[in-house]
Structures are given as structure tokens and as C-alpha cells.
Amino acid sequence: MKKDQDSAKTSSIFPATDPHPFVNNWGPETRHDKQPSTARNAFSLEYPLYRQQLIGQLPKQFDQSQIPVEIDAETGTASYHADDIVKYGLHQIICFIENGDIPARYQALHIAEWLINHLSEWRKHIFAWPSEKPQPFYKLSAPRVSAKTHGLALSLLLRVAYIENDAWYEETIKKIVRLFFLPVEE
């Protein structure tokens, strides 16, 4: 009887006709401190406009944890760039949403967790993933933050919060959205 009750808790909450049968069907009991997400499917889980641009820009090198890295040709040292990491995570979540690719789902979750764990306070009450890569064309020196990177991170984290039904991701979303209220000059 106990086994039947447990399986009932973890069954899908969506009817068979749901357009996203692989989405949000894991119960909130996977972590003891897990709270349900407030993210609702008021947005498209797909990312059709960015899909084609994303494929050509995917990273080619990864560390031992399968996090995208850039290897310096001269020194051989690996460096992490949030822009590349977010693109890869977003690509993985798209693969899961479109094809039900379970390994891609777990990779997207891994990327989202990496992003959360590497978020830093860039300025007082402003959290970001500062890049150590300068942008000479735009006359930007390092460390700098990128609205594009943070926008893509918001997209990834919102989708992961919805899919996992976990408010933990939303805490990071609330932190990084503050960046968008800064003047461009800053």
C-alpha cells in the first residue's frame, strides 16, 4: 500500500494531451527543502527565434564536470565564460523540451546549478556573472557584465524552475533581474 501511495505522488500531473508531457512532472519531494515554483506556463517553453543562432555558437570544450570552458592556446588553462555556459544550457533545455532528451534535461539542470553556485555580487545588491573577457570593439574592459548573457540566463532558469517545479531557481532569478534596472552606462 505504501508503495502505491509513493508512486501516486510522483505520477505526472498533466493529462496525456498536454503539449509538454515531459515537463513539470517531478514532484517537489526530491529535495527536503524544495518549495514549489511559482513559474507557470504563461510563456513558451520553446526558444524558436534563438535556436538557429545558438547551434553555431555552442562550445566545443568542456571540463571534467561537462561545463563548457575555453582553453587558452598558449597556457593551456581553462577559463569559464558565463555566456558560453548559458548558451549550452539553453541548448540542452531546448533539446529536452523539443525531443524529450532526458540526458539533455540533466545537463541543463547541471548548468543551471553551476550558474547559481557561481553567481557573485558584482555591486551592492546587484548579482552577476562578470566576464574577464574584454570587448575591444565596444571599448569594454574586464570585468564587465553582459545584458545578453543575463537575459539568456533568465530564460534558462525560468524554464528549469518550471520543469523542475522548484522555487530554488527563482531565488537566483530575483537576484539577477536587478541588473536590468541599472543605466546602460553602468
What pLDDT digit, counting tens, does each position of 56-98 carry? Answer: 677 778 888 889 888 877 788 888 888 889 989 988 888 888 8
Check if the beta carbon of residue 177 is closer than 8 Å to that of residue 154.
yes
Identify which of 47-51, 57-61, 167-171 has the greatest average pLDDT.
167-171
Give the residue from 132, 127, 131, 123 showing the smallest Cα distance to 154: 127
Q: What mean pLDDT, rounded, does the chain reach?
A: 73
User: What is the predicted pLDDT for the residue at 1?
Assistant: 44
Give the residue from 135, 153, 150, 158 showing the smallest Cα distance to 181: 150
Average pLDDT over residues 42-50: 59
Give the residue from 79, 80, 76, 103 showing the smallest Cα distance to 92: 103
Cα separation, 129 vs 67, whole angstroms: 15
